[in-house]
């Protein structure tokens, strides 16, 4: 790439600076537009404090993702040769910036006649290693608007759920290109942003997160994501301590031409306090990565999820459909 730049009379460092300043200008314009939108929302709607937190965090996520689009390099052939982008989609340790919208619909629930739904917005922001901090970071904020049952009948309530965030540090050893194994760990946070007493835990929570990925079998990715959160402060006058462990088993297999099958949407939830619920669903689905211009791609997928084990759970999903659209971007360049 450097030879090509010199051939056309471009200095590689000056080109990088030009791209950097264009990215900063793009981010400045997006931030200004976001502030104007938020100002109009405040004038039109009586936003509560938790809703403002969600709006500001979501705007920051969109701005950062827009900055990633402005900063991405024009040539991704080398990275694509090392690890195809279709294999990175369900790799929790992959260097791939993503912006995801997912609809989670449960037509059948245990313990209620209501049909529940969730709209999930998630960004995965890939940050390159710095000179003083030689670890790649994957920052993942998650925002959800959920429709939950009011009881055993069919009435439901729609509200914001708690916001989740983890910052995963991907370890440079062992060498992932040689071993095809990669792992990372970092802090995990849950913020009490829910707007209903039927959603969220009403608690500030934090704990560790860890992930791994193994691609030693051609076309097959075996991965997992573990998150543990324990409450340490509460928003309710009658607090209920929370200690939760979630495990997300991930399997994906490439069928060719960017089609794949997967089992990656189910999350096993273990509430660690005495006589609290445990749920273990399994999922299966398929999807395709659609490649666009300038290295950008869009992933679309459909999957089903079934509850195979539950204990001390009065209400839980029996069957769930997951519809997902994800914008995929190359690794950020700084």
What pLDDT shows up at residue 238?
83
DSSP-derived pairing of the beta strands 136-149 and 156-160:
antiparallel
User: Are 79 and 331 spatial neighbours (Cβ–Cβ below 8 Å)?
Assistant: yes
Residue 198: Cβ-neighbour burial (10 angstroms; 0-12, 13-18, 19+): middle
Angle at 4 between CA 2 and CA 10, to 5 degrees: 80
Alpha-carbon torsion angle 65, 69, 72, 76, nearest 10: 100
Q: Look at residue 65 in the predicted model and tell me its pLDDT.
A: 44
Q: What is the pLDDT of residue 25?
A: 53
Peptide bond into 215 cis (omega under 30): no
Alpha-helical regions (H) of 45-122: 49-71, 77-82, 85-88
CATH topology for the 83-329 domain: Porin (2.40.160)
For the chain, the farthest-separated pair of C-alpha atoms sits apart, in whole angstroms, at 71
Please give the helix or strand (H or E) that residue 310 lies within, else none.
Answer: strand 297-311
Mean pLDDT in order along the chain per 10 residues (334 residues): 37 45 50 52 47 48 46 43 84 95 96 96 93 90 97 94 97 92 98 94 97 96 98 90 97 96 97 94 97 91 97 93 93 52
Residue 28: what pLDDT? 56
* pLDDT value at residue 290: 96
Dihedral sign (CA 89, 91, 96, 98) = positive
pLDDT of residue 83: 82
CB-CB neighbours of 166 under 10 Å: 25
Cα separation, 42 vs 46, in Å, equals 6
pLDDT at res. 39: 57
Q: How far apart are CA 78 and CA 201, in angstroms?
A: 45
Domain definitions of the chain by residue range:
2-69, 83-329
Percent of the chain as helix, strand, coil, to the nearest 5 = 25, 45, 30
Q: How many CB atoms lie within 10 A of CB 334?
A: 10
């Amino acid at each position: 790439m450097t030879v090509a730049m010199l051939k056309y009379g471009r200095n590689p460092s000056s080109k990088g600076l030009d791209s950097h300043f264009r990215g900063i200008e793009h981010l400045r314009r997006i931030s200004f537009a976001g502030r104007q939108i938020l100002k109009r929302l405040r004038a039109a709607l009586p936003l509560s404090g938790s809703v403002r937190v969600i709006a500001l965090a979501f705007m920051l996520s969109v701005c950062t993702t827009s900055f990633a689009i402005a900063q991405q390099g024009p040539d991704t052939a080398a990275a694509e040769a090392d690890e195809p982008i279709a294999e990175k989609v369900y790799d929790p340790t992959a260097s791939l910036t993503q912006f995801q919208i997912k609809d989670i619909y449960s037509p059948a629930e245990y313990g209620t006649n209501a049909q529940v739904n969730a709209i999930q917005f998630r960004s995965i922001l890939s940050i390159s290693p710095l000179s003083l901090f030689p670890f790649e970071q994957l920052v993942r904020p998650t925002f959800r608007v959920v429709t939950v049952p009011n009881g055993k009948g069919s009435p439901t309530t729609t509200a914001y759920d708690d916001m989740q965030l983890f910052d995963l540090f991907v370890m440079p050893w062992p060498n992932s290109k040689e071993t095809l194994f990669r792992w990372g760990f970092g802090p995990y946070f849950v913020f009490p942003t829910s707007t209903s007493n039927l959603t969220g835990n009403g608690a500030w929570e934090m704990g560790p997160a860890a992930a791994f990925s193994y691609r030693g079998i051609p076309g097959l990715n075996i991965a997992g994501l573990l998150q543990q959160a324990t409450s340490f402060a509460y928003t309710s006058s009658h607090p209920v301590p929370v200690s939760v462990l979630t495990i997300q088993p991930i399997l994906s297999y490439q069928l060719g031409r960017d089609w794949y099958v997967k089992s990656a949407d189910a999350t096993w939830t273990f509430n660690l306090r005495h006589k609290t619920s445990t749920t273990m669903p399994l999922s299966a689905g398929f999807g395709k990565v659609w490649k666009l211009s300038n290295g950008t791609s869009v992933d679309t997928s459909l999957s089903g999820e079934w509850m195979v084990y539950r204990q001390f759970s009065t209400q839980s999903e029996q069957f769930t459909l997951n519809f997902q659209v994800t914008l995929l971007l190359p690794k950020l360049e700084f």
